[in-house]
Amino acid sequence: MPVITMELGKVSIEQKRELVTKVTELTAGVTGVPKEAFIVLIKENDAESTGFGGELLSDKRAKMAAEKKVGGNYE
Amino acid sequence: MPVITMELGKVSIEQKRELVTKVTELTAGVTGVPKEAFIVLIKENDAESTGFGGELLSDKRAKMAAEKKVGGNYE
Amino acid sequence: MPVITMELGKVSIEQKRELVTKVTELTAGVTGVPKEAFIVLIKENDAESTGFGGELLSDKRAKMAAEKKVGGNYE
Amino acid sequence: MPVITMELGKVSIEQKRELVTKVTELTAGVTGVPKEAFIVLIKENDAESTGFGGELLSDKRAKMAAEKKVGGNYE
Amino acid sequence: MPVITMELGKVSIEQKRELVTKVTELTAGVTGVPKEAFIVLIKENDAESTGFGGELLSDKRAKMAAEKKVGGNYE
Amino acid sequence: MPVITMELGKVSIEQKRELVTKVTELTAGVTGVPKEAFIVLIKENDAESTGFGGELLSDKRAKMAAEKKVGGNYE
């Protein structure tokens, strides 16, 4: 019956496969619930739709990129 | 105030219409809460983003399709 | 794989049994997904933790009860 | 640690930015939890995937538009 | 139709009332959706059931309290 | 920013600690997102509030216990 919802950013299908396999295995091991009963839902969130510390993630990243550029030729 | 979130695979608009109408009616009937107060959110999940029994649903389906093919010309 | 989360107020175990049985049956019928794959999570929310139209549900209910009382000895 | 999930319709990036900033500020102020700990997830739902009062939101809107039209040249 | 779910720690009913009122008002103002359509669900999470940065929140707090104590009789 | 919600049955604080630590570590490793950004919410669901395959989990367990008893003094 366990349902694990993973709110993440963009992830590749390889990463999704690894997450589903390993998170199910790990949680089944810790809880003793058989693997077959597990559902994992992976939700990909745009940086423009995600707030972190009161700021859009896309804005945070834009600022960090700009600061790096000022730091000299894309350090 | 009831909020019903339905995590499903791909569904057509006709299926969505039927689900919203009937699930609201059914739950209103059981709980006695008036229909007008209900919100239903239908979430469509890709098979590549869904884990079932520790495996990506898309991988499970690919395996099942391959087994059928081996079983003799698309049984 | 379908996961249906029902955010409701207080419900009895009989109501929960009826909801789980009938919502699963209905959704399985509409989507064609086998009943065995369904998970239903019933979440009971206190009126004090639920906002409806910008007001705590518990406050709304207290107001409605007071208005009834004023209307003539518990109409 | 607070996680605020906002299930909305379509919103622009400007609206997302304003919501993330102000909802975080407001909730941090009320709870005393520092802004840096907040995550806000904005989920945009299609009207075709949303039920309100037992009806698809897209159907409700289509009906309202039709009623307006009948009322005399797009009142 | 908007549904706002707030995953928080322990909050008083006064804080819940303030959050429901102000978050609904703010979001209605930004989105133009009428206040009456809003549902807010406040979920209180125990520190023992919440992970932050890979550690139980209850463990983090216990460590911080111990460090303070060592720092000189409850600085 | 990742938020992982784990809908489980009853779990001990030791199990919660292990899940939070290992699921965060695993997901941080797969996604490359730093551990510090992770929030894990563990939700414990009563068997009476959980439907599995169209039946209350509590009813399923009661049936299984009864079948075992008939099978000869608690095989």
D32's tokens: 């005393």
* C-alpha distance from residue E2 to each of B5, C52, D9, D57, F29 (Å): 13, 10, 7, 12, 35
Decide if pLDDT at E74 tops 70: no
Q: Which residue ranges in chain A fall short of pLDDT 50?
A: 73-75
Which H or E element spans position F5? strand F3-8
Does B45 sit within 8 Å of A20, measured CB to CB? no
The C-alpha torsion from E1 through E7 and E8 to E13, rounded to 10°, is: 40
Residue spans per domain, chain A? 1-44, 49-75
Q: Is F64 on the interface with A (CB under 8 A)?
A: no
Span B45-65, average pLDDT: 95
Q: Which of 3.40.190.10, 3.40.50.800, 3.40.1160.10, 3.30.429.10 would CATH assign to domain B1-44?
A: 3.30.429.10
pLDDT per position as a tens digit, F4-52: 999 999 999 999 999 999 999 999 999 999 999 999 999 999 999 999 9
Instruction: Please tell me the distance from the alpha carbon of residue A4 to that of residue A8, in angstroms, as a whole number.
Output: 12
Mean of pLDDT over chain D: 92
Question: What was the pLDDT predicted at F71?
Answer: 60
pLDDT per position as a tens digit, D12-32: 999 999 999 999 999 999 999
Q: Is E36 on the interface with B (CB under 8 A)?
A: no
Q: Is D48 on the interface with B (CB under 8 A)?
A: yes
Confidence of residue F74 (pLDDT cuts 50, 70, 90): very low
Q: Rounded to 5 degrees, what are φ and ψ at F74?
A: 55, 60
Q: Half-sphere exposure (CA, 13 Å, Cβ side) for A40?
A: 31
Which H or E element spans position F23? helix F13-31
Question: What was the pLDDT predicted at D39?
Answer: 98
**Using alpha carbons only, how large is chain B's radius of gyration in Å?**
18
pLDDT per position as a tens digit, A33-44: 999 999 999 999
Mean of pLDDT over chain C: 92
Confidence of residue E71 (pLDDT cuts 50, 70, 90): low
User: In terms of Cα–Cα distance, which of A29, E53, C46, E41 is closest to F11?
Assistant: A29
Q: In what order do the strands lie in the sheet with D3-8?
A: A55-56, A50-52, D39-44, D3-8, E3-8, E39-44, C50-52, C55-56
Residue partners of F27: CB distance under 8 A and separation at least 6: A6, A8, A19, A23, F2, F4, F33, F38
Q: Is A45 on the interface with D (CB under 8 A)?
A: yes
Q: Which of F3, F22, F42 to mutate to test the interface with E (most CBs of E within 10 A)?
A: F42
ipTM over 0.90: yes
Decide if pLDDT at E73 tops 60: no
pLDDT per position as a tens digit, B4-43: 999 999 999 999 999 999 999 999 999 999 999 999 999 9
**C10, C48 in Cβ contact below 8 A?**
no
CA-nearest residue to A7 within chain B is B49
> What SS3 state is found at C5?
strand
Torsion region of A50: left, alpha or beta (phi above 0 gives left; psi -120 to 50 gives alpha): beta
Question: What was the pLDDT predicted at B75?
Answer: 36
Instruction: Please tell me the distance from the alpha carbon of residue A53 to that of residue D23, in angstroms, as a whole number.
Output: 11
Does F50 sit within 8 Å of C42, measured CB to CB? yes
User: What percentage of chain E carries pLDDT values higher than 90?
Assistant: 84
Most confident of B63-72, D53-62, F64-73: D53-62
Residue partners of F22: CB distance under 8 A and separation at least 6: A26, A30
Alpha carbon C49 to chain centroid distance? 14
